Amino acid sequence: MKAIAATEADIKEVVRKDGVGRRSDYFGTPGMVTAEPQGFLVERPYANARIDPHFHDIDQFQVVVAGDGRIGKKEVRAVTFQYADAYTPYGPILARDDGISFFTLRNVASGGHFSMPGSKHLMACRAGRNIAAVFEQDREPVAAGETVREPLMEHQDDGVYAEGIRLGANASVEGIPNEAGGQYYLVCSGSLLADGKKLPAHSLIRANKDEVTLSLRASGEGANVLALQFSRPTDRPGSDPKLLAGRNPDGYVLKTEK
């Protein structure tokens, strides 16, 4: 298990033709093709920010944590997550007046992306799952010492799963059973105590495959935590990290992350 507080992320200003945003790297190195996990926060706090349709060669979760807009036809706001199988096109991502900020969380790093519709011939398989749901943040606070669990998707046969966990002040609870391909825990509000430090909103915990199930402990302000689990390795393209480390970094249509 590794916990990275929001204040510990590597933050870089990103200047684009449509505005100035930021990228905060928590896990992995931008543009590097490895079998290691990758997690980062993209902030585009300006109106009409746009990311064109594309796909990746790896599975991923994206979690909107600020602003609003849509991904394809799906309306999104804080805290909306989207899970997409490898080789599953999505987008465009379009922000409204307040811009949009979202985490991209991957079980294995990507070195770029494939623009659509022009890269359809590079898809290694048919498009797969594209699952989205909202973890509401405006519910009544949970009582001190208590927890509430909220399944946000059906358990998938290969282990993919998402759950919202609401912890009252000083509450402790086990995370979701670590029984598939690795997990992330995103602090959406409040704060956790882990790894000897306080983890405020937008902090991130990574649990690798085969590690023990995490224990979560809230601070005195409680916490809302989004738990996300990846697929166990299967024969589905993009699901097995061991088969992805040897990817050709020159194979991406665009080698820089969105």
pLDDT, position 256: 58
The closest of 219, 173, 213 to 199, measured between CA atoms, is 219
Q: Is 99 helix (H, G, I), strand (E, B) or coil?
A: strand
Q: Is 56 helix (H, G, I), strand (E, B) or coil?
A: coil
Domains of the chain (ranges; CATH) run: 2-133 (2.60.120.10), 138-229 (2.60.120.10)
The alpha carbons of the chain give a radius of gyration, in whole angstroms, of: 17
pLDDT, position 242: 83
The CA distances from residue 170 to 138, 192, 221, in Å, are 20, 9, 8
How is residue 6 written in tokens?
């929001």
The owner of tokens 């079980």 is 107
pLDDT, position 110: 86
| Per-10-residue mean pLDDT, the chain, length 258 | 96 92 92 86 96 94 98 96 97 96 94 90 94 96 97 97 98 96 98 95 96 96 98 94 75 64
Beta strand extents in the chain (DSSP E only): 2-4, 10-16, 19-27, 38-44, 50-51, 54-55, 60-71, 74-77, 80-84, 93-106, 114-115, 130-134, 147-151, 161-167, 172-174, 183-194, 197-200, 204-207, 215-229
Report how far residue 123's alpha carbon sits from residue 139's, in angstroms, rounded to the nearest whole number: 41
Neighbours of 52 (CB within 10 A): 13
The closest of 44, 41, 4 to 23, measured between CA atoms, is 41
Asked whether the beta carbons of 73 and 134 are under 8 A apart, the reply is no
**Percent helix, percent strand, percent coil in the chain, to nearest 5:** 5, 50, 45
201 Cβ contact list (under 8 Å, min separation 6): 6, 187, 188, 189, 190, 191
How is residue 211 written in tokens?
């590690």
37 preceded by a cis bond (ω within 30 of 0): no
pLDDT, position 5: 97
158 Cβ contact list (under 8 Å, min separation 6): 180, 231, 232, 234, 236, 239
pLDDT, position 169: 98
Asked whether the beta carbons of 102 and 132 are under 8 A apart, the reply is no
